[in-house]
Amino acid sequence: MAEKKITQREMFADVKVVLEQAGRNDLAEFIQTRINILANKSANRKTKTESELDVQTKEHILSALDTAGQTVTQIMGKDKFFAENEISNQKITSILKGLKESGQVDKEKSGKSMLYKLV
């Protein structure tokens, strides 16, 4: 069975206990600041918010789509917003994937290209 890997936070907590027992409260305070920094890093990674540009892009994609089905290139050609903000077709595809997962958009394969349409 594989051994559990000790994280930095666990290591710092153990060091802090040893330092407090040795009476080195100044170093224990330093170790506590390092633990707090690790906690902040972890919290920052977990909170991912949608940027304002992504929200606007999603709105423009939905307004450009219809029920007939279009490729990403056709969607980009319908609205100047994408060119003005230098939004790539990869970014649009990524947003379309999220819209498909939420049930707002449907995707079908037509030959070599993918067609996206409103549900």
Domains and CATH numbers, the chain: 8-46 (no CATH), 52-118 (1.10.10.10)
Predicted local confidence at residue 5, as pLDDT: 86
Predicted local confidence at residue 2, as pLDDT: 65
**CA contacts within 13 A on the Cβ side of 100:** 13
Q: Which residues contact 47 (CB under 8 A, 6 or more apart)?
A: none
Q: Say yes or no to pLDDT of 62 above 60.
A: yes
Give the model confidence (pLDDT) of 93-119 as tens digits: 999 999 999 999 999 998 888 999 998
Predicted local confidence at residue 45, as pLDDT: 64
Give the model confidence (pLDDT) of 18-58 as tens digits: 999 999 999 999 999 999 888 887 766 655 556 888 888 89
86: left (phi over 0), alpha (psi -120 to 50) or beta: left
Q: Which amino acid is at 80?
A: K
What average pLDDT does this structure show over 9-23?
A: 92
Q: Cα(32)–Cα(9) distance, rounded to whole angstroms?
A: 10
Predicted local confidence at residue 52, as pLDDT: 84
